[in-house]
Amino acid sequence: MHLLLRFFSIALFVTVVITAWSGSTPHASGGRVAPAFDLLITNGRIVDGSGNPWFRTDIGIKDGRIARLGRISPADATKTIDARGQIVAPGFIDVHTHVESIYNLPAAENFIRMGVTTLVTGNCGTSAVDVARFLGRMKEKPLAVNLATLIAHGSVRREAMGSDDRAPTPDEMKKMEALVEQGMRDGAVGLSTGLIYVPGTYAKTDEITSLARVAARYGGIYATHMRSEGERVADAIRESIQIGEQAGLPVEISHFKISSKKLWGQTPMTLGLVREARARGLMVTVDQYAYTASSTSLESRLPGWLRAGGLVEARKRLADPAMRERVINEMKDGLKRSGFKDFSYAMVASYGPDHSFNGKSIAEITKQVRGKKDVKNQIEQIIAMYEAGGAGMVYHGMNEDDVQRIMREPFTMIASDSGVRQQDESVPHPRGYGNNVRVLGHYVRELQIISLEDAIRKMTSLPAQTFGFRDRGMVREGFAADLTIFDDKTVGDRATFEKPHQYPVGLTCVIVNGEVVFEDGMTGARPGVALRGQGYSLGSAGNNVSSN
Ligand SMILES: [Zn+2]
Distance from Cα 471 to the centre of ligand 1, integer Å: 27
Contact call for residues 173 and 207 (beta carbons, < 8 A) = yes
Distance from Cα 225 to the centre of ligand 1, integer Å: 5
Give the max Cα distance, the chain: 104
The protein residues having their C-beta less than 5 angstroms from ligand 1 (an ion) are 124, 225
Contact call for residues 44 and 83 (beta carbons, < 8 A) = yes
* Distance separating alpha carbons of residues 520 and 547, to the nearest angstrom: 28
Residue 58: strand pairing partners: 70
Contact call for residues 51 and 459 (beta carbons, < 8 A) = no
Q: Using omega within 30 degrees of 0 as the cis cutoff, is the peptide bond preceding 199 cis?
A: yes
Distance from Cα 255 to the centre of ligand 1, integer Å: 7
If residue 209 lies in a helix (H) or strand (E), which one and from where to where?
Answer: helix 205-217
274: nearest Cα among 248, 245, 295, 294: 245
Regions in the chain scoring below 70 on pLDDT: 1-32, 537-548
Contact call for residues 415 and 255 (beta carbons, < 8 A) = yes
Distance from Cα 254 to the centre of ligand 1, integer Å: 6
For helices 321-338 and 375-387, give the axis angle rounded to 10 degrees.
120
Contact call for residues 413 and 95 (beta carbons, < 8 A) = yes
User: What was the pLDDT predicted at 33?
Assistant: 75
Contact call for residues 100 and 126 (beta carbons, < 8 A) = yes
Other Cβ atoms closer than 10 A to 88: 27
* Distance separating alpha carbons of residues 293 and 18, to the nearest angstrom: 52
Please state the separation of Cα 60 from the chain's center in Å. Answer: 29
Kind of pairing, strands 190-194 and 151-152?
A: parallel
Distance from Cα 426 to the centre of ligand 1, integer Å: 20
Contact call for residues 48 and 9 (beta carbons, < 8 A) = no
Distance from Cα 63 to the centre of ligand 1, integer Å: 37
Cα–Cα distances (Å) from 25 to 17, 77, 250, 508, in that order, read: 9, 11, 42, 30
Contact call for residues 278 and 252 (beta carbons, < 8 A) = no
> What is the SS3 assignment for 251?
strand
User: What was the pLDDT predicted at 21?
Assistant: 45
If residue 414 lies in a helix (H) or strand (E), which one and from where to where?
Answer: strand 412-414
Give 476's DSSP letter: -
Distance from Cα 162 to the centre of ligand 1, integer Å: 20
Exposed / middle / buried, residue 12 (Cβ in 10 Å: 0-12, 13-18, 19+): exposed
Residue 284: strand pairing partners: 251
Contact call for residues 416 and 431 (beta carbons, < 8 A) = yes
Distance from Cα 31 to the centre of ligand 1, integer Å: 57
* Distance separating alpha carbons of residues 262 and 544, to the nearest angstrom: 43
Does the pTM of the predicted model rise above 0.85? Answer: yes
Distance from Cα 57 to the centre of ligand 1, integer Å: 39
Distance from Cα 197 to the centre of ligand 1, integer Å: 9
What are the residues whose beta carbons fall under 8 Å from the beta carbon of 272, sequence distance 6 or more? Answer: none
Distance from Cα 315 to the centre of ligand 1, integer Å: 25
Exposed / middle / buried, residue 344 (Cβ in 10 Å: 0-12, 13-18, 19+): middle
If residue 168 lies in a helix (H) or strand (E), which one and from where to where?
Answer: none
Distance from Cα 419 to the centre of ligand 1, integer Å: 12
Residue 42: strand pairing partners: 82
Distance from Cα 194 to the centre of ligand 1, integer Å: 6
Q: What is the CA radius of gyration of the chain?
A: 25
Distance from Cα 210 to the centre of ligand 1, integer Å: 21
Contact call for residues 97 and 119 (beta carbons, < 8 A) = yes
Give 53's DSSP letter: P
For helices 205-217 and 170-185, give the axis angle rounded to 10 degrees.
30
Distance from Cα 124 to the centre of ligand 1, integer Å: 4
Give the chain's length: 548
Contact call for residues 412 and 288 (beta carbons, < 8 A) = yes
Distance from Cα 256 to the centre of ligand 1, integer Å: 10
Distance from Cα 472 to the centre of ligand 1, integer Å: 25
Residue 545: strand pairing partners: 532
451: nearest Cα among 498, 488, 495, 504: 488
Distance from Cα 251 to the centre of ligand 1, integer Å: 15
Other Cβ atoms closer than 10 A to 177: 17
